[in-house]
Structure 1
């Protein structure tokens, strides 16, 4: 299949969770960011876009410009360091993403520009995908800060890949946190 790089978007303000460092929340005894990094076991390099966090070896850190500039700015920062023909792009708050998720997206890529997970309701999960690196770079707008990710990707040839139960779930709200941790108190590592 050729080489693949990995990008994890791990910035964001987590406004619905009172600004907690969402990627470092633990589900199943492991920070969500570690879950995303582990899902990229076949990737080299693994690039994390967001504030540097301790205890996460094997990653290259970078920040979007401007910091807090949104997912397209973060994606642009990650793509600047990706040097493989394919790139897996994951959000840093995914609960059940795994190496098999990335494997099936890669297998579905074929001649398409990208392959993204599609949830049970038919919604494309834009931040769970595998892309042809050069095609994704070519789609970046000149001004990435505040740009719409969906709008940026609209012109690309994308294949949807059905998610298994729970595979595309992320943690966004206090209700999500309670459901995944069976507690209303966030558990995170400093």
Structure 2
């Protein structure tokens, strides 16, 4: 199944805590966050696309098609998920995986684990989860596997004012897949300048 899954990297946010810069283009350990992520995600997907708003040429060096939100006024990550679903449908893909562009260390078995979780079940969504240092489980709603058949429902929900990914996801059959820290939370994301410094340290620990 995994070879039939398309991958969608969500980079359409405004990154207000980073001064509005493209987080995907920030550097850690001499490479952009997007390059680190692509190393891990590319082998797991049949095709990849980048969801980003604004001038797509700024991502021209990565060899990815770029699609913008198809819903106006920056309604958040659900708009990027919808854009990915519609792009996946155009590629005749039944499933797509989404990953936020500011999570450079996603597991190398992310897609296979998520796909295994929905295989043979009625579930149409599988969301990734991990535990923090206190062993509290956190679900990561922008990192998941989605049936592209949900596109029409999602578009209708967005037009009706829905903005929260997990609230919309839980309207459908959804499963959660826990990933262990090896050696740290694989879904660590870069939101602040301090996070960027920490990400650089984590990248060096992996080399």
RMSD between aligned residues: 2.1
State which of 151, 156, 167 in structure 2 corresponds to 1:142.
156
Misfit runs of 4+, over 6 Å: none
Distance 1:87 1:125 in 2: 16
Structure 1: gaps spanning 5 or more residues: 183-190
Aligned mates of 1:67, 1:30 — CA distance in 2: 31
Q: Post-superposition shift, 1:98?
A: 3.7
Q: Distance in 1 between matches of 2:10 and 2:109?
A: 19
1 or 2, which has the higher helix percentage? 2
Aligned to 1:186: none
Deviation at 1:125, TM superposition (A): 0.5
Aligned match for 2:100, one of 70, 91, 94:
91
> Any stretches of 5+ residues in structure 2 without a counterpart?
202-207
Shift of 1:143: 5.5
Deviating more after overlay: 139-148 vs 115-124: 139-148
* Aligned: 1:123 with 2:138: yes
For 1:137 and 1:179, locate their aligned partners in 2 and report how far apart those are by CA, in whole Å.
36
In the alignment, which residue of structure 1 is the partner of 2:51? 49
Deviation at 1:101, TM superposition (A): 1.8
Tell me what 1:76 maps to: 82
Instruction: Choose from 60, 65, 70 the match for 1:60.
Output: 65
Matches within 5 A, 1:16-55: 16-38=17-39, 39-51=41-53, 52=56, 53-55=59-61
SS of corresponding position for 2:112: helix
| Residue 67 (structure 1) shift | 5.8
Give the Cα separation in 2 of the matches to 1:143 and 1:73. Answer: 10
The TM-score normalised by the length of structure 2 is 0.78
* Equivalent residue pairs, number: 180
In the aligned structure 2, how far is the partner of 1:70 from the partner of 1:18? Answer: 17
